[in-house]
Structure 1
Amino acid sequence: MTTERPPDRLVRHQQRFDRLFADYFDTLGTTLDAPSFSRFAPECVELLRDLSLRGGKRMRVVLLHEAARLVTDEPVEGLDAAALSVELLQTHGLVHDDLIDDSATRRGGPTTYYAYRERFPEHPRAALGLTVLAGDLALALSLRVLLESALPAEVRRAMAEVQTRAAADTIVGQIADLERDFAAAVPDTGVLHDVADHKSARYSVFAPMRLGLLAAGVRPDAHEDELRRYARLVGICGQMRDDYLDLFGDAAAMGKPTGGDLREGRRSYAVARLLAAVTGPERATVEQALGDRSGAPEAVAAIRAMGERRGVADALQADMRRCAAQARQLALGWHGRWRAEAVDFFAELPSWSVERAG
């Protein structure tokens, strides 16, 4: 049997889920209990809809479905509710990330924060407050969609617990991410891995896999440790790749300028490795650029060239591939217990995630 490759599954699930997500928002206005006089509440829902449907690869949705396929190839009730939940939690994270980072654009359009700033130019505190509340609403909806599903009560509760823990872990990860950049010392690999695990891996990989198994009728507790290890490795790979592309990627291909982590003063994987690799005037150049939000593209290009000369780009790529290989070996160990085609998907996914162009 030929295994459908990750990008093919991604497109198929993405198209179906985007229709499901649009239908969900079409009916949300009739189920959200807002005061009849309120205009801000429907505006908030419309902003969440716009951000949610504007794009995104829906990798979490794919992971959810593939986790269910580890145990069955039959249709599984509950996957739609779980998919809505994971993507609403993602929307929550995007709204708050863009506020924290003061980002103007996301997925080719204005962020929720900047949409509110344009809506209320004379009331910046209201714009800020409404942005926080929009993210909070997305989080609440991600849990409500599970609790209101037609699944058995025990499964609903188990899924809601998974998402509650994932949300808490992610918020703690965001706090740790900000804390990391306040430290005087360059963060070591262990710190960077822990931040990536909490901030990304637990809600983007671990939670969708647990939800998929729960929907398929399997309690994931017996496999908790290995699923957590796999998710951590995949999450670290993804964060390394994002950090690598932020400094060494092709700005035209990504649709945004490189050097964002430098300008924001973030001690990312790329920036931390760069600081560890340079000394003297070169280190002074990097430190001067770190946190300079007005940094010119030419300054970023010079630091990029410095990183390439010092082997930082090659070292990061080697780290990503090593991490992906470890995740692959872990997934291959699932053969004999779970369905081979789905196991092969999880084995191939880490390397594809590292090597993919977009």
Structure 2
Amino acid sequence: MTGQIRSRLAGYEHRFGAMFAEYFRGLHATLDAPAFSRFAPECLELVRDLSLRGGKRMRVALLHEAARLVTTEPLEALDDAALSVELLQTHGLIHDDIIDDSPTRRGGPSTYYAYRERFPDHQQAALGLAVLAGDLAFALCLRVLLDSTAPPAVRQAMVEIQVRAASATFMGQISDIERDFTPLPADDVLHDVAEYKSARYSALATMQLGLLAAGEDPARFEKELRRYARLVGIAEQMCDDYEDLFGDAKAMGKPTGGDIREGRRNYVVSALLTAASASERATVERALGDAAGSEETVAAIRDIAVRRGVQQKLRTDVQRYARLASAEAATWRPRWRDEAVTFFEVMPVWSAQRIMG
């Protein structure tokens, strides 16, 4: 099944990449902006550039596989939903990089830093334009659904799903910042932030859109889908936090230790502060939020994490939540197509193994 997953993911990635590029070509030709404006096309180009630098398009895969729970027939509404899902992702990435003051994203400059380089003497304008680029991506994520040829009821339901998902994400972003004001966040706080910040839009809404496009009413299965999305979201956020300290900077497209420099009290930092000695905690606390923190400092914190078993704890926790998500998906088998259910069973465990090794 792992080979089949890789094959299906590659197929979704290839097909969607071509479709996304074609979407932006059409958008450039029809952009409704003042004729004199140079900034508007540049803004759209930055949104396009970041969008097309996407990775494996896991959200697109979840969308299509959710539809496959019901049918294998081609569904036109899936393409519009896929564009909407990835445009909402672009919106989130642009705003994330503003909040985190991140210079890189997906192996290239973040939208915020692209504007800072474009306007070195007008930093407030650069900030404003980056915010507006994120807002443009969000507006486009809804517009593509409003322009869809799907039946009006389906179109309206898809818009509602995306608006609710975006609202949850905004609450998650606010809670994410609030979490970093807590000396040692409890596990429930970390889990709730993971759910609201990413799982609600990246997993739950994506599955809901896929089922809706296939003619299923996702509201009938709200509890099951939420449980699965939350577990997947927790596992994926743990993976993200793990990679930030222990990952390969070249593969991630950004330096390691970013969360330490930004003062993020995430899963890794919380476990580290719990396990460390008093002197080690002092070392970690001094590094948290130090934007100028050196690679040597990050390496020292990494060594503490390995020595205190934090690295292994995160690996174990990720695998546990991935298995719980898999077990949740297994309960869907009497209701939906076996092959697609198997995808949702295997995907969390495979994803965790791919990152954790």
TM-score bracket for this pair, using the shorter chain length: over 0.9
Q: Which residue of 1 aligns with 2:189?
A: 191
Query: Does the CA contact (< 8 Å) of 1:237 and 1:354 recur in 2?
Result: yes
Aligned to 2:97: 98
1:195-216 deviation line (CA, Å, top 9, x unaligned): 0000010111001100000000
Q: What CA distance in whole angstroms lies between the structure 1 residues aligned with 2:263 and 2:338?
A: 44
1:118 aligned partner: 117
Q: Confirm or deny: 8 A CA contact 1:3 1:341 kept in the other structure.
A: no
2:140 aligned with 1:149, yes or no?
Answer: no
Alignment match, 1:223: 221
CA distance in 1, matches of 2:176, 2:315: 22
| Secondary structure of 2:327's aligned partner | helix
- Note if contact 1:162-1:211 (Cα within 8 Å) is conserved in structure 2: yes
Q: Does residue 305 of the first structure (1) align with residue 303 of the second (2)?
A: yes
Cα–Cα, structure 1 residues 240 and 357, in superposed 2: closer, same or farther, change >3 Å? closer
Shift of 1:319: 0.8
Residue 75 of structure 1: aligned partner? 74
CA positional deviation for 1:252: 4.7
CA distance in 2, matches of 1:43, 1:254: 26
CA contact (8 A) 1:92 1:138 kept: yes
Q: Provide the residue aligned with 2:62 in structure 1.
A: 63
User: Equivalent residue of 1:356, what SS?
Assistant: helix
Q: Does 1:168 align with 2:174?
A: no
Question: How much identity, in percent, do the aligned residues show?
Answer: 66
Distance across 2 between alignment mates of 1:3 and 1:280: 44
* Aligned AA (1:308): V
| Residue 269 (structure 1) shift | 0.2
One-letter code of the match for 1:304?
A: R
Kept in 2: contact 1:29–1:42 (CA 8 A): yes
Question: How far apart, CA to CA, are the structure 1 residues paired with 2:113 and 2:307?
Answer: 38
Residue type of the alignment partner of 1:62 = A
- Quick one: structure 1 residues 325 and 3, their matched pair in 2 at CA, closer, same or farther if it must change by over 3 Å? closer
**1:62-89 CA distance string (max 9 Å, x none):** 0000000000011112000000000000
Instruction: Give the structure 1 partner of residue 326 of structure 2.
Output: 328
- For 1:1-40, list aligned pairs within 5 A: 5-40=4-39
Aligned partner letter, 1:158:
A
Partner secondary structure for residue 36 of structure 2 = coil
Q: What SS does the aligned partner of 2:210 have?
A: helix
Question: Structure 1 286/57 Cα, relative in aligned 2: closer, same or farther at 3 Å?
Answer: same
CA distance in 2 between partners of 1:118 and 1:59 (Å):
31
TM-score by length of 1: 0.96
Task: Report which stretch shifted further, 17-26 or 6-15.
Answer: 6-15
Q: Provide the aligned C-alpha RMSD in A.
A: 1.4
C-alpha contact 1:206 1:228 (8 A) present in aligned 2 = yes
Write the letter of the residue equivalent to 2:196: H
* Matched AA of 1:355: Q
The separation in 1 between residues aligned to 2:34 and 2:294, in whole angstroms, is 48
Alignment of 1:281-296 (within 5 A): 281-296=279-294
Q: What code does the residue aligned with 2:245 have? A: L
Distance 1:250 1:108 in 2: 12
Q: Which consecutive unaligned segments of at least 5 residues does structure 2 have?
A: none
CA contact (8 A) 1:332 1:343 kept: yes
SS of match in other structure, 1:177: helix
Distance in 2 of aligned mates of 1:254 and 1:131:
22
Distance 1:3-1:94 versus aligned 2 partners, 3 A rule: closer
Contact persistence 2:106–2:254 (CA under 8 A): no
The structural deviation recorded for 1:297 is 1.5
Which residue in the other structure is 1:279 paired with? 277
CA offset at residue 276 of structure 1? 0.8
SS in 2 for 1:335: coil
Bigger CA drift: 301-310 or 263-272? 301-310
Cα offset, 1:235, TM superposition:
0.7
Match of residue 317 from structure 1: 315
Distance in 2 of aligned mates of 1:293 and 1:225: 41
State the Cα deviation string for residues 299-324 of structure 1 (Å, max 9, x = none).
22121111111111111111111101
What CA distance in whole angstroms lies between the structure 1 residues aligned with 2:246 and 2:105? Answer: 20
Distance in 1 (alpha carbons) for counterparts of 2:50 and 2:186:
34
Asked if structure 1 preserves the Cα contact closer than 8 Å seen for 2:33 and 2:40, the reply is yes
For 1:255 and 1:130, the matched residues in 2 are separated by 23
AA aligned opposite 1:181: D
* 1:126 CA drift (Å): 1.1
Give the AA of the match of 2:179: R
Specify the alignment match of 1:237 in structure 2.
Answer: 235
- Tell me by how many angstroms 1:285 deviates: 1.0
The 1:300/1:141 distance shift into structure 2, 3 A limit, reads: same
| TM-superposition CA deviations, 1:6-44 (whole Å, max 9, x none) | 322211100100110001000112333211111111111
- CA distance in structure 2 between the partners assigned to 1:165 and 1:105 by the alignment: 29
Equivalent residue for 1:349, pick from 322, 347, 350: 347
Tell me the distance in 2 between the aligned counterparts of 1:28 and 1:121: 29
Q: Which runs of 5+ in 1 are unaligned?
A: none
